[in-house]
């Protein structure tokens, strides 16, 4: 019983996480349902550090020092429940079970409650950074008891990515808080990717070549847009297909896949009543891309501008698109952080938004220079919305004209830009003096007697639409 930490599930993520622990000097017990995976891992990496391979759950649990710290990295859902069930008979009070998979936060809440009743600490831990991050330092978003964090937190902080000496891992909040924040991280990732794709499409429609667009992204990556996703976009655009000699992007089928975290983000936002239209449009854009019959019908029957245009000034267009991309990105972050704040209130999680921005600065897929600015704005004081932060509001004002030119051009040329349009519509809606919601209230009162409030006096009112159209004050 000497291992500091155990990892169950040795597919790509679990294996790399175990190696990361070992590289940081921990003795790591490893176990996988199918023994061959354990054997493979030890054969390939056993010499990298101190591993204790186990051939049964009993042996695995027995090899751990107490309180036991066990990280589960199996397929989310039934795999996680089955793994927990198999561990339970062997665990003792005070042991800590960490689920590092992409669990739905409601599942995490359920599991946390069940294990708490048995005297165990359950942690739902969001891990972002893919395979490479798991090995060299991911961004880690842990949710669970504060007491349990004292035992597991230091280990997680050691293996997390480092940003200027600060680990990209911090206690997020109780039960589902960590997995919720990871889910929203993925929702923002969907939006970020959609905006980048739209920026590419606008430039491509303006006649820029793939290498020219790649250069533009590389240039943007030296400034305010500096981020992992922009960086890899250049790399994807630079890739030539060996079979055809064309740009790889031109031979990849144009239907985007999804695994569900974007959809979850939007579903929960709908339930909590938080407007995340940029994320929703990003999920729907992937969905549209996959409806091949719908698109075939559209191509056959629908006419309009040709999805191309001739820019007056290429360099000016590139700068406008950069501004549209930056503004949309900021709006997506504002919406995602709003969702986190609302959920935090709803579930009593007490999540520190500056802390979230702190651990997204490195290691994760949405890591970006912008996150340091977001962190410092939230650290400076309460914000009703990220958009109200002084430096952000000023940046959005500066980018406004260019952003609107991109939208006007895209709409005029028939280039779909649902993400950019959602971002600008949200921005204009939240800053409007008056919204046409007043008219909607009138309509609702007309057909459903749903009543309305007035701008000039307190109370609830109804107009007798089907009678003399006089107004009644109801309370
Ligand atoms: P997979 O999601 O492909 O899962 C494979 C692992 O789950 C294997 O170890 C497999 O054991 C185990 N497993 C399954 Br499937 N059903 C099981 C069961 N009923 N009981 C016990 N073990 C079971 O692995 P992954 O891609 O390494 O991802 C692990 C987790 O990390 C997932 O939740 C994923 O969503 C999350 N994640 C992945 C990434 C990424 O970039 N891939 C990033 C961030 C988070 P076997 O060998 O016996 O079949």
Bridge partners, residue 247, by sequence: 240
Q: Is 130 assigned a ligand-binding role in the annotation?
A: yes
Averaged pLDDT, groups of 10, the chain, 475 residues long: 94 98 98 98 98 98 97 97 98 98 97 98 97 97 96 97 97 98 98 98 98 98 96 98 98 95 97 98 98 98 98 98 98 98 97 97 96 95 95 98 98 98 98 98 98 98 97 95
pLDDT value for 1: 63
Q: How far is CA 436 from CA 21, 387, 425, 433, in A?
A: 56, 22, 13, 10
Q: State the pairing for strand pair 166-167/461-463.
A: unpaired
> Is the separation of the CB atoms in 106 and 131 below 8 Å?
no
Residues 131-181 pLDDT 10s? 999 999 999 999 999 999 999 999 999 999 999 999 999 999 999 999 999
pLDDT value for 475: 86
Q: Is 13 assigned a ligand-binding role in the annotation?
A: yes
**Ligand 1 pocket member 10 (CB < 6 A):** yes
Q: Which of 80, 62, 67 is nearest to 13 (CA)?
A: 80
Token couple for 254: 């144009």
Helix (H, G, I), strand (E, B) or coil at 410: helix
Q: Which of 189, 194, 198, 377 is catalytic?
A: 189
Active site residue 146: no
Active site residue 182: yes
Q: Counting Cβ atoms within 10 Å, is residue 238 exposed (0-12), middle (13-18) or buried (19+)? A: middle
Residue with CA at minimum distance from ligand 1 atom 28: 13
**Ligand 1 pocket member 82 (CB < 6 A):** yes
pTM, 2 dp: 0.96
**Ligand 1 pocket member 80 (CB < 6 A):** no
* Model ipTM value: 0.97
Q: Is 75 assigned a ligand-binding role in the annotation?
A: yes
pLDDT value for 134: 97
> Is the separation of the CB atoms in 94 and 67 below 8 Å?
yes
């Amino acid at each position: 019983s000497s291992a500091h930490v155990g990892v169950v599930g040795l597919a790509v993520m679990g294996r790399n996480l175990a190696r990361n622990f070992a590289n940081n000097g921990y003795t790591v017990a490893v176990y996988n349902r199918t023994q061959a995976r354990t054997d493979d891992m030890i054969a390939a990496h056993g010499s990298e550090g101190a591993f204790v391979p186990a051939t049964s759950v009993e042996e695995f649990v027995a090899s751990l020092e107490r309180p036991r710290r066990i990280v589960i990295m199996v397929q989310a859902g039934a795999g996680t429940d089955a793994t927990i069930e198999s561990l339970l008979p062997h665990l003792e009070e005070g042991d800590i079970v960490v689920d590092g998979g992409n669990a739905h936060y409601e599942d995490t809440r359920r599991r946390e409650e069940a294990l708490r009743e048995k005297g165990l600490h359950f942690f739902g831990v969001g891990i972002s950074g893919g395979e490479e991050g798991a090995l060299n330092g991911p961004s880690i978003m842990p949710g669970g008891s504060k007491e349990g964090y004292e035992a597991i937190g230091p280990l997680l902080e050691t293996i997390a990515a480092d940003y200027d000496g600060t680990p990209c891992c911090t206690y997020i909040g109780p039960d589902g808080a960590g997995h919720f924040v990871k889910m929203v991280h993925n929702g923002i990732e969907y939006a970020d990717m959609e905006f980048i794709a739209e920026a590419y499409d606008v430039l491509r429609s303006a006649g820029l070549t793939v290498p020219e667009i790649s250069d533009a992204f590389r240039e943007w990556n030296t400034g305010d847009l500096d981020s992992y996703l922009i960086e890899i976009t250049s790399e994807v655009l630079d890739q030539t297909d060996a079979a055809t000699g064309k740009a790889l992007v031109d031979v990849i089928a144009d239907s985007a896949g999804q695994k569900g975290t974007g959809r979850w983000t939007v579903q929960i936002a709908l339930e909590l009543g938080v407007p995340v239209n940029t994320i929703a449009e990003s999920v729907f854009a992937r969905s549209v891309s996959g409806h091949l019959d719908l698109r075939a019908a559209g191509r056959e029957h629908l006419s309009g501008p040709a999805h191309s245009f001739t820019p007056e000034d290429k360099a000016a267009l590139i700068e406008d698109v950069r501004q549209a991309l930056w503004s949309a990105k900021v709006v997506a972050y504002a919406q995602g952080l709003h969702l986190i704040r609302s959920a935090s209130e709803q579930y009593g999680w007490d999540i520190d938004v500056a802390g979230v921005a702190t651990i997204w600065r490195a290691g994760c897929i949405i890591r970006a220079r912008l996150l340091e600015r977001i962190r410092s704005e939230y650290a400076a004081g309460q914000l009703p919305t990220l958009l109200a932060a002084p430096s952000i509001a000023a940046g959005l004002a500066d980018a406004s004209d260019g952003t609107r030119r991109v939208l006007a051009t895209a709409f005029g040329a028939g280039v779909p830009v649902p993400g950019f349009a959602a971002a600008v519509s949200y921005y204009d809606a939240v800053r409007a003096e008056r919204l046409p919601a007043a008219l909607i209230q009138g309509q609702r009162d007309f057909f459903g007697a749903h009543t309305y409030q007035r701008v000039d006096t307190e109370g609830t009112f109804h107009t007798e639409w089907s009678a003399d159209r006089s107004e009644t004050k109801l309370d």
